[in-house]
């Protein structure tokens, strides 16, 4: 009757905790000396095919299993030469904050407890950071996908908020239509599908030679849709496309939205935060007037996974989309259920972890200016990488470097595009499998390209020198049929 899941010997647990902290600090402080990534051997994979354990295992043995079969085969995004996808590195303070948050273990749905106020302050800080109104609303989420979904949900319901919540899309007499570029992230399409609008009603507008949305084509499509008795309700602008880092002409999109009375949402998963960099601030200033903006803190704020954010200018529209207060969530001032307005009024989730603590502690530790310098450093590093590639043929820069993404390939001596693509794919795999660096890839105008996305607080100039040097070496070995 008195059984618990707590340890029988707290001193032994304390010693194990100290060992874990020491090991993880050693791991992070020496990460540069390790391979960026390594394939998982089959025998290690087999250890994950066993049945659920019915009896206890010594805590130290469990930790030893972690060190043997999990830690060596990490994804690699804590390494200074990890450039795949758009994935940040984390920080030591973020690691400690995650431990503290887990020990406190609060649910940030409702209540009078400190964690609610911490998240409120973090949201206020990012309104200030991006020049957003102080009376706007927001919420922390798992990442950009949920942040974009939340904003598009509000945009949809803003047409007829009460009727849509009660009667569904049948309450809207006209078919809703949204607009984005062909370079927009796949989560936009997923959100439109999940919201019941349907992919056929997401207009993917072509892009120009700089991979920005074609504004003339957008205007034309809006007029066609209106003439066909459809209802344009949202334009999604990209503050840094995932493929190339292109920034849509946000000022022009904002003007269209104002003229047509359409909700303007900015997907700024990583790029919105570049608004604080002087050389990029002008292109991103229209974010201040957007109806909503989504961005990730585990990208260009270098927080441990996971932490995304959405800010929504119209707090009432945000609340009207999600607020639902059954009796078991009734709030009363002066008790545990009091406190600030419940976050469950502003999102789908009721159970919510203490994501805000790692953000709050990290920003207090380092100060916002350190993050501004780091974001700017990553952009400068990519300009450096672009110039390095351009000066080292047969490497070929495939797009202009507008922010923090560099796309390149090795120009092999063949006119066969399929062969060219396959050889560049092999080059990428060799970079990864040899543990040298971890860029990812994409397809641009039919060309397979190696894609560097730099949101890495640990990267230094030498890491880009190594990437170029090794790309040349491996490319030449492939050309010479040595690989």
Reduce the secondary structure of 408-477 to three states and give it as a string. Answer: EEECCCCCCHHHHHHHHHHHHHHHHHCCCCEEEEEEECCEEEEEEECCCCCCCHHHHHHHHHHHHHHHHH
The answer on pLDDT for 161 being more than 80 is no
Note the pLDDT of residue 228.
98
Handedness of CA 140, 145, 146, 151 (dihedral sign): positive
Asked if 447 contacts 420 with a C-beta cutoff of 8 angstroms, the reply is: yes
- Cα separation, 278 vs 301, in Å, equals 17
- Cα separation, 219 vs 93, in Å, equals 47
Asked if 296 contacts 267 with a C-beta cutoff of 8 angstroms, the reply is: no
Q: Is 247 helix (H, G, I), strand (E, B) or coil?
A: strand
Mean pLDDT of the chain: 97
Confidence grade of residue 332 (pLDDT, cut at 50, 70, 90): confident
Asked if 142 contacts 320 with a C-beta cutoff of 8 angstroms, the reply is: no
- Residue 437 in tokens: 């660096």
Q: Would you identify the CATH topology of the domain 369-479?
A: 3.90.1150
Asked if 23 contacts 67 with a C-beta cutoff of 8 angstroms, the reply is: yes
* Class at the top of the CATH hierarchy for domain 106-366: alpha beta
Note the pLDDT of residue 478.
97
Closest CA to 341 of 109, 26, 83: 109
Residue 307 neighbours by CB under 8 Å, 6+ apart: 140, 142, 143, 296, 297, 298, 301, 355, 358, 359
- Residue 391 in tokens: 């000066």
Question: What's the whole-number mean pLDDT along residues 106-115?
Answer: 96
How do residues 85-105 score in pLDDT, each as one tens digit? 999 999 999 999 999 999 999
- What are the residue ranges of CATH 3.40.640.10 in the chain? 106-366
Task: Give the count of beta carbons closer than 10 Å to the beta carbon of residue 18.
Answer: 10
- Cα separation, 311 vs 264, in Å, equals 12
The answer on pLDDT for 454 being more than 90 is yes
- How do strand 405-410 and strand 447-453 relate by DSSP bridges? antiparallel
Asked if 36 contacts 76 with a C-beta cutoff of 8 angstroms, the reply is: yes
- What are the residue ranges of CATH 3.90.1150.170 in the chain? 369-479
Note the pLDDT of residue 333.
86
Question: What's the whole-number mean pLDDT along residues 55-82?
Answer: 97
The answer on pLDDT for 2 being more than 90 is no
- Residue 279 in tokens: 């050389």
Residue 328 neighbours by CB under 8 Å, 6+ apart: none
| pLDDT above 90 as % of the chain | 95
Closest CA to 453 of 467, 440, 466: 440
Confidence grade of residue 483 (pLDDT, cut at 50, 70, 90): confident
DSSP string, 294-332: EEETTTTT-PPS--EEEEES-HHHHHHHH----GGG---
| Rg, Å, the chain Cα set | 24
- Residue 350 in tokens: 């009721």
Confidence grade of residue 330 (pLDDT, cut at 50, 70, 90): confident
Closest CA to 253 of 239, 238, 237: 237
Q: How far is CA 453 from CA 40, 77, 225, 302, 400, in A?
A: 24, 11, 36, 13, 14
What 8-state DSSP symbol labels residue 178? Answer: E
Note the pLDDT of residue 179.
98
Confidence grade of residue 163 (pLDDT, cut at 50, 70, 90): confident
How do residues 211-265 score in pLDDT, each as one tens digit? 999 999 999 999 999 999 999 999 999 999 999 999 999 999 999 999 999 999 9
DSSP string, 327-388: GGG---TTSTT-SSPPGGGSSS-SS---THHHHHHHHHHH-HHHHHHHHHHHHHHHHHHHHH
**Torsion angles phi and psi, residue 183, rounded to 5:** -95, 0
Note the pLDDT of residue 104.
98
Q: Is 155 helix (H, G, I), strand (E, B) or coil?
A: helix
pTM (two decimals)? 0.96
Question: What's the whole-number mean pLDDT along residues 407-433?
Answer: 97
């Amino acid at each position: 009757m008195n059984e618990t899941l707590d340890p029988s010997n707290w001193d032994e647990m304390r010693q194990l905790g100290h060992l874990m902290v020491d090991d993880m600090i050693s791991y992070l402080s020496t990460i540069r000396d390790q391979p960026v990534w390594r394939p998982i051997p089959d025998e290690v994979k087999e250890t994950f095919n066993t049945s659920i354990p019915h009896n206890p295992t010594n805590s130290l043995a469990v930790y030893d299993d972690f060190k043997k079969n999990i830690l060596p085969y990490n994804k690699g995004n804590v390494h200074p030469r990890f450039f795949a996808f758009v994935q940040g590195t984390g920080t030591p303070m973020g690691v400690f904050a995650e431990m503290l948050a887990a020990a406190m273990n609060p649910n940030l749905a409702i209540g009078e407890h400190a964690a609610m106020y911490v998240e409120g302050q973090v949201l206020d800080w990012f309104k200030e950071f991006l020049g957003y109104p102080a009376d706007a609303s927001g919420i922390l989420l798992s990442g950009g996908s949920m942040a974009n979904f939340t904003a598009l949900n509000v945009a949809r319901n803003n047409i007829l908020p009460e009727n849509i919540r009660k009667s569904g899309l049948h309450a809207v007499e006209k078919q809703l239509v949204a607009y984005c570029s062909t370079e927009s992230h796949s989560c936009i399409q997923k959100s439109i599908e999940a919201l019941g609008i349907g992919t056929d009603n997401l207009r993917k507008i072509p892009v120009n030679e700089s991979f920005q949305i074609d504004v003339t084509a957008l205007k034309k499509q809006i007029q066609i849709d209106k003439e066909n008795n459809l209802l344009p309700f949202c334009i999604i602008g990209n503050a840094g496309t995932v493929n190339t880092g292109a920034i849509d002409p946000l000022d022009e999109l904002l003007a269209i939205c104002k003229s047509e009375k359409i909700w303007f949402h900015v997907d700024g998963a990583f790029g919105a935060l570049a608004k604080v960099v002087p050389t990029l601030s002008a292109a991103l200033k229209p974010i201040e007037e957007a109806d909503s903006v989504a961005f990730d803190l585990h990208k260009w704020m270098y927080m441990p996974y996971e932490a995304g954010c959405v800010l929504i200018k119209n707090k009432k529209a945000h609340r009207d989309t999600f607020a639902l207060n059954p009796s078991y969530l009734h709030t009363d001032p002066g008790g545990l259920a009091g406190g600030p307005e419940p976050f469950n009024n502003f999102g789908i989730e009721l159970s919510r972890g203490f994501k805000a603590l790692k953000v709050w502690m990290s920003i207090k530790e380092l100060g916002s200016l350190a993050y501004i310098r780091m974001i700017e450093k990553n952009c400068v590093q990519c300009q450096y990488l672009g110039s390095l590639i351009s000066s080292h043929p047969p490497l070929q820069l495939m797009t202009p470097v507008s922010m923090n993404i560099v796309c390149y390939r090795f120009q092999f001596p063949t006119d066969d595009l399929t062969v060219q693509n396959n050889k560049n794919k092999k080059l990428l795999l060799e970079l990864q499998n040899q543990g040298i660096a971890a860029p990812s890839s994409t397809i641009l105008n039919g060309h397979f390209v190696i894609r560097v996305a730099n949101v890495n607080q640990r990267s230094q100039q030498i890491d880009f020198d190594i990437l170029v040097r090794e790309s040349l070496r491996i490319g030449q070995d492939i050309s010479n049929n040595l690989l």
